[in-house]
């Protein structure tokens, strides 16, 4: 089993994934790309090359772990975390902290087509994927040991995708990761002072200024963030306040699918199919207890789910890793103008 270790200096946890353990000299040539599409474990007919399916969207009465699925969820074959029956047990380790690497790591295979990226998915496939996100969030929230469920996508090798076939991933952890904690503290602090949601206020400001907005259909908004760390960094959120992604109805998910299609097409066309990561931040598992020391967890009123898209166009160097302060050579207003003017 892997291990969670706590760094008291940076106040962050790290997953030491011994199940993915490599020998020291495996790192000597790290940027080799290993992809052989003909043996793709995510293509029809290769269902036995993944762990058994946990959930699938099937409209043809086909059996589990056979072709016919539209979206398919399995455990990650090399999971960073895994879940048995044990309780979660955080222990001090001198000044540090540790626990077993309890959690889950799942893969969401996004359609049988090996080549097509989300920018070009038929709309109903993206809708099925978003409904699958919702389904897995609802299911995983039943396990009170899991304090946070993070859904993300790596597109392109530079963005960390090790398999070409389009897929998203879910990692659920027994701790709230630091980046999410900081957002929770910020929105809770803002709510305490102003009795309003920080992200609702951000959206209002973006709608007033319009200069960073790429897409706004009255339900979903997409904009380049004011303090973008990376060129073309995007923020997508529902305009109406909602803390929890899994509480959104079908209509909102359908509108979100349209927005994702529109925005990802613009990115693809404008920047020649750039590598990117996207990340869903939703409110943590309320039933799982306090989100961070000194606070009980979020209210429904003080968080607002959103998706961040980070195109991976620039390298991250010592300054960024050492400071958390990013240098972005691209004005967000200019990035937005460029994306808006891209014909799709």
Judged by CB under 8 A, the chain residues 260 through 279 that form the site for a second copy are 270-272, 274, 277-279
Q: Looking at residue 27, what DSSP letter applies?
A: G
Judged by CB under 8 A, the chain residues 6 through 35 that form the site for a second copy are 6-18, 20-22, 24, 27-31
What's the closest the beta carbon of residue 326 comes to a second copy, in angstroms?
5
Judged by CB under 8 A, the chain residues 287 through 326 that form the site for a second copy are 308, 310-311, 313-319, 321-326
Which of 222, 197, 199, 217 minimizes the C-alpha distance to 299?
197
The CA–CA distances, whole Å, from 178 to 8, 182, 292 equal 12, 6, 10
Residues 181, 189: Cα–Cα separation, whole Å: 12
- The residue from 126, 187, 283, 297 that contacts a second copy (CB under 8 A) is 187
What's the closest the beta carbon of residue 161 comes to a second copy, in angstroms?
8
Residue 8: which region, alpha, beta or left (left: phi > 0; alpha: psi -120 to 50)? alpha
- Residue labelled with tokens 């972005």: 328
Of the pair 144, 209, the CB lying nearest a second copy is at 209
Dihedral over alpha carbons 146, 147, 153, 159 (to 10 degrees):
-110
Of the pair 44, 226, the CB lying nearest a second copy is at 226
Name the catalytic one among 88, 155, 167, 281.
167
Contact call for residue 195 and a second copy (CB under 8 A): no
Spell 170-181 as b/e; 16+ CB within 10 A means b.
bbbbbbbbeebb
Question: What track of x and - describes contact with a second copy for positions 213 through 252 (by CB under 8 A)?
Answer: ------------xxxxx-xx--------------------
- The residue from 39, 95, 142, 251 that contacts a second copy (CB under 8 A) is 95
The CA–CA distances, whole Å, from 258 to 3, 245, 252, 276 equal 39, 16, 10, 19
What's the closest the beta carbon of residue 267 comes to a second copy, in angstroms?
11
- The residue from 35, 62, 91, 205 that contacts a second copy (CB under 8 A) is 205
Q: How many residues does the chain have?
A: 344
Of the pair 15, 220, the CB lying nearest a second copy is at 15
Mark whether 167 is an active-site residue.
Answer: yes
Contact call for residue 327 and a second copy (CB under 8 A): yes
Could you give the angle at the alpha carbon of 11 between the alpha carbons of 294 and 198, nearest 5°? 55
Judged by CB under 8 A, the chain residues 154 through 183 that form the site for a second copy are 154, 158-161, 169, 171, 173, 175, 177-180, 182-183
Of the pair 84, 329, the CB lying nearest a second copy is at 329
Assigned token pair, 43? 């293509």
Residues 150, 284: Cα–Cα separation, whole Å: 9
Contact call for residue 212 and a second copy (CB under 8 A): no
What's the closest the beta carbon of residue 220 comes to a second copy, in angstroms?
18
The CA–CA distances, whole Å, from 289 to 102, 119, 176, 222, 298 equal 16, 37, 11, 32, 10
Which of 135, 223, 150 minimizes the C-alpha distance to 181?
150
Number of residues that bind a second copy (CB under 8 A): 98
Active site residues per annotation = 167
């Amino acid at each position: 089993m892997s291990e969670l270790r706590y760094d008291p200096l940076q106040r962050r946890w790290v997953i030491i994934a011994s199940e993915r353990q490599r020998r020291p000299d495996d790192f000597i040539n790290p940027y080799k790309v290993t992809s052989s599409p003909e043996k793709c474990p995510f293509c029809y007919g290769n269902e036995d090359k993944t762990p058994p399916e946990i959930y699938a969207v099937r409209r043809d009465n086909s059996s589990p772990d056979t072709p016919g699925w539209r979206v398919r969820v399995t455990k990650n074959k090399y999971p960073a975390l895994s879940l048995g029956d044990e309780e979660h047990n955080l222990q001090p380790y001198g000044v540090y902290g540790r626990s077993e690497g309890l959690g889950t790591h799942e893969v969401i295979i996004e359609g049988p087509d090996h080549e097509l990226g989300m920018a070009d998915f038929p709309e109903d496939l993206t809708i099925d994927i978003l409904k699958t996100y919702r389904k897995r969030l609802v299911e995983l929230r039943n396990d009170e040991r899991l304090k946070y469920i993070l859904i993300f996508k790596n597109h392109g090798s530079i963005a960390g995708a090790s398999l070409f076939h389009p897929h998203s991933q879910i990692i659920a952890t027994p701790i709230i990761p630091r980046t999410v904690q900081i957002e929770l503290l910020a929105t809770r602090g803002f709510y305490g002072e102003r009795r309003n949601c920080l992200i609702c206020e951000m959206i209002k400001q973006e709608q007033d200024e319009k200069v960073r907005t790429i897409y706004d259909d009255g339900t979903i908004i997409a904009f380049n963030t004011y303090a973008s760390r990376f060129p073309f960094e995007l923020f997508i959120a529902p305009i109406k306040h909602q803390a929890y992604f899994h509480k959104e109805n079908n209509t909102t998910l359908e509108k979100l699918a349209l927005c994702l299609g529109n925005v990802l097409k613009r990115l693809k066309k404008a920047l020649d199919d750039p590598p990117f990561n996207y990340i869903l931040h939703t409110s943590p598992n309320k039933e799982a207890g306090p989100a961070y020391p000194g606070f009980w967890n979020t209210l429904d009123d003080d968080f607002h789910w959103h998706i961040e898209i980070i195109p991976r166009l620039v390298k991250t160097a010592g300054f960024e890793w050492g400071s958390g302060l990013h240098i972005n050579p691209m004005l967000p207003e200019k990035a937005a103008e460029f994306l808006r003017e891209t014909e799709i």
